Structure 1
Amino acid sequence: MNPVHGAYGEFFLEYSLMAEYKLLAKQKLPGVFVVPSGRTPLCWNGVIFVRQGLYQGGVFKLAIFIPHDFPDSSCPKLVFDPPVYHPLVNPDTGELDVHRAFSKWRRNVNHIWQVLMYARRVFHKVETDSPLNPHAAKLYTTDVDQFKAKVEECIEGCLERAVVQPHNPDQTSSGLSSSSSDDPMAICFSHMDPMQLKQAKDAMASFRRRKYDYYSQYHQHSGYSWVQPGSYHSFSQRD
């Protein structure tokens, strides 16, 4: 074990995870959204929206499981829930074969955002060598039309599982697994009527305008400050 990690284990891990999440936010991976679990910082909930290719229209929920000795560890695991029909995804567990891209996790070289970028890429460039799902790999190489039909079936199933009914405590009917149903930060979707959708769009547009006005007002000069503009209160201090 790294001596620094051993002496300041909990704090070092927290700092490492915060740094990793900040790096992920900077990448702005198209169609990828991730939020740390409300139960443990070693699990992040996410979803990938596929916008082109054979998996176009897919909404695939996932979880990233980070080793307790990160970053001096093996590669984090990425698991789709429910499992995605893909040659590189275990059909029983939903785990993506990330080791083919990260055979050895290298500290300060490999990062969690790269794992997510790889997960996004497998839907655009399908590989079939050494598959975790031999049936999907064989079908892709021998009957691509039938493969597309299985993918469409998978997309429909994942969409159905992704959308939950509000105020429904029944885990079975909601389609959530026990691993995420009790997580307050689990990513869930619900149907919206046209009026709700318009209100959400208007709220987002209004937020962007307010954010632009704020930065225009307070960030016309160079430099940074740890205190809130117009006061002596630090950003981290609660009201």
Structure 2
Amino acid sequence: MSSSSDHASQSPDMMSASPSPPPRPSGGDGRQLPSIPNNSTPYTLHQNSSKLNNQANSNRGSNGFGPFFQEYSMMAEYTQLQQQKIPGVYVMPCAKTPLVWSGLIFIRQGLYQGAALRFTLTIPDNYPDGNCPKFAFEFPVFHPHVDPETGELDVQRAFPRWRRNVNHLWQVIVYAKKVFYKVDTKSPSNLEAATLYENDIDLFKKRLAKNIEQCEERLYQPPSLDDPFTLRFSPWNDAVHADVKKQMLHSSQRHSSDAGGSANPSDLGLSWMDPSRPEIFSRDESGSA
């Protein structure tokens, strides 16, 4: 299962290690997400048991298919997300449940340029008939619409009422990226960030620069979400990553030769950056890399 993005990291000296896809079942074409367990959101803490039972029953809704319909809906949503090819975004459904997606957003322009933000998208148990999904950053980013304590982004500003077959999960992710390019300070979740942005932009930039640095440092630590599919980062290591870089380039060249044309590494699910250069998918000019 591949991530939805142009597969390009904006942070230098960093190599992303994408998790291996789940094993394909014997027979069929393998296009299948993990089955939905009875308690379909194992990462949600302190839930009332009676509430969980009610949510499980509401999964069946009016469609009559219950978790089977829901699993199909999740597969369709993830396929749509892949088709969007949202620049600078990586997303993976979690191994234990398709109702929790983890990912990363890389911001390449504007005030938040250089930020690398890990996030979790939590989908309601009764999707697609439920409320708006929750979108939370693992490390709270300094932004007017991000809660400074929980890291949750106020996505209900854009989706006050979740409409089945009209609103989609990829739209939530696009909105989460858009808020960093066009900052809005109305009805803020972080009053301090909103006030500084309006009244003291220089101090806002200083606070933001420190926050972005902390977010990048946090990437190298184990993710808070205990899931094998969560993306992990490690500093550049020639003994490990140099060979991987060569494999990426060679596989791209083989694909180009077989297809009779050029091949973009991003189309093959590959991602790397030269630590000394800011170009995406940079390669040695000599072609020896």
TM bucket, shorter chain:
0.7 to 0.9
Q: Does 1:193 align with 2:237?
A: yes
Distance in 2, matches of 1:52 and 1:62, equals 19
Amino acid at match of 1:3: S
Secondary structure in 1 matching 2:103: strand
Give, in angstroms, the shift of residue 215 of structure 1. Answer: 5.4
Q: Does 1:98 align with 2:163?
A: no
Amino acid at match of 2:169: I
1:77 is matched with 134
1:154-210 Cα offsets, whole Å, 9 max, x none, are 11101111013xxxxxxxxx4x33xx1x21111110011245443222212222334
How many residues get paired? 201
1:40-88 Cα offsets, whole Å, 9 max, x none, are 2110001000001000000000000000111111111100001111000
1:221 is matched with none
Distance in 1, matches of 2:259 and 2:162, equals 39
Q: Does 1:67 align with 2:97?
A: no
Amino acid at match of 1:131: P
1:14 is matched with 71
Runs of 5+ consecutive residues of structure 2 not aligned to the other structure: 1-57, 261-289
Q: Does 1:112 align with 2:172?
A: no
1:13-48 Cα offsets, whole Å, 9 max, x none, are 100000000000000001011001112211000100
2:180 is matched with 123
Give TM-score, length-normalised by structure 1. Answer: 0.80
Q: Does 1:43 align with 2:87?
A: no
Q: 1:211 to 1:70 in 2, by over 3 A?
A: farther
Q: What fraction of aligned residue pairs are identical, expressed as a percent? A: 48
1:168 is matched with none
Distance in 2, matches of 1:209 and 1:19, equals 32
2:217 is matched with which residue: 148, 160, 169?
160
Distance in 2, matches of 1:91 and 1:43, equals 22
2:246 is matched with which residue: 194, 202, 225?
202
Runs of 5+ consecutive residues of structure 1 not aligned to the other structure: 165-173, 217-239
Q: For structure 1, which segment, 183-192 or 43-52, has the greater mean C-alpha deviation from structure 2 after superposition? A: 183-192
1:101-139 Cα offsets, whole Å, 9 max, x none, are 001111111111100000000111111000000000000
RCO higher in structure (CA 8 A, sep ≥6): 2
Amino acid at match of 1:201: K
Amino acid at match of 2:154: D
Secondary structure in 2 matching 1:16: helix
Distance in 2, matches of 1:88 and 1:201, equals 38
Q: Does 1:134 align with 2:191?
A: yes
Secondary structure in 2 matching 1:23: helix
Amino acid at match of 1:108: N
1:26 is matched with which residue: 83, 90, 98?
83
Amino acid at match of 2:236: M
Amino acid at match of 2:134: K
Give, in angstroms, the shift of residue 140 of structure 1. Answer: 0.3
Distance in 1, matches of 2:68 and 2:259, equals 32
Distance in 2, matches of 1:196 and 1:207, equals 17
